[in-house]
Copies of this chain bind each other. A is one copy, B any other.
Amino acid sequence: MRIIVDAFGGDNAPGEILLGCVQAAKELGVDILLTGNRSRIEQEARDLGIGEELQKMEILDCPDMITMEDEPTSLLKAKSESSMAVGFRALSEGKGDAFASAGNSGALVVGATMIVKRLKGVKRVAFAPLLPKSQGFFMLCDGGANAECRPEMLRQFGLMGSAYMKKVMGVEKPRVALANVGTEAHKGDELRLEAYELLRQCPDIFFTGNVEGREIPFDGADVVVADGFTGNLLLKLYEGVAMALMSKVKGVFEKSLVNKLAAAVVYKDMKALKSSMDYNEYGGAPIMGAAKPVFKIHGSAKASTVKNALRLTRDFTQSGVISDIAKALEKRDETV
């Protein structure tokens, strides 16, 4: 399998991206095809002492890159020679099996939709991060690609999330739930009322009804369905509350000398806890609904997280989840 990787996406590009790619090539049995400015990549590789490993990787040389400040649609015109645009075209042309980038999320959604294209019948691609719950992870779909949604999009988010959790994460019968302000069927706004009915009638998923915010971190569901506006606020608040709380815990441990001694005792366990709550460590989020696997690596990823993300990209690609979604949509005549 060959994964195309954007060498110039994310806060720590290209150094940490290249280091992660070298680890992935060694440990995961994948080929890497890099996109980006060749001379800068080669220089960085030499500086990092991975020049030799880099020589085994093919590079698609291109001069430009997309920044966080660029308009997502710039990918199609002004930035069509950026490392991300070139990566998308390479995927579309079959030069690799999947594309992964830690760059501008909005641009990734644009590229998945306009260059790789959606699967036949898919109304919108979704940004679908995996978040920690009391046991394991749940998928939030959509986590921010679509600020305005129609009910049938929410049904498809449930369908796509379910396929992913089953095929990639090994959850036998993923529980799909709609993020809402109460558990009863009549709760929420118009969008929720209609989406509830569509999800309930969808034969390809195990819909468990509405899930409230309080239950989401407590194994409330395997797939949490939301419009992208709500999903993005939930995603970021989740992260914010966890960070705020862990920093307060840190404050307790630094308060006095005896507290510091206590901290030393539980240090390792606390560190593990912190990682388990940090969705960034998990690697990233698939873009669901594109015709080929596109994966968003976390923007702040360091080498080990990049490697994790590439493992997820590999699993996503091998899983057959995309053809499962295609079949489910065909069966329901949504591709007509």
Contacts and interface: CB of A to CB of B under 8 A. Distances in A.
Interface of A: 133-134, 144, 147-148, 179-181, 187-190, 192, 212-218, 228-230, 232-249, 251-253, 255, 258-259, 261-263, 265-266, 269-270, 273, 276-277
B234 A189 contact: no
A216 B243 CA distance: 11
B244 A218 contact: yes
Contact of A233 (B179, B236, B244): B179
Task: Tell me the number of copies of this protein.
Answer: 2
A71 B276 CA distance: 40
B232 A214 contact: no
B213 A239 contact: yes
A188 B240 contact: no
B252 A273 contact: yes
A222 to B, nearest CB: 16
List the 8 shortest-distance A-B pairs measured between CB atoms, nearest first.
A213-B236, A213-B237, A217-B244, A262-B262, A262-B265, A214-B240, A214-B236, A181-B232
Give chain A's interface secondary structure class: helix
B230 A230 contact: yes
Contact of A213 (B214, B240, B255, B269): B240
B273 A266 contact: no
A230 B233 CA distance: 8
Given A230-B230, A242-B241, A248-B277, A235 B262 contact: no
B188 A213 contact: no
Nearest to A193: B147
Contact of A234 (B237, B239, B259): B237
A305 to B, nearest CB: 18
A262 B249 CA distance: 14
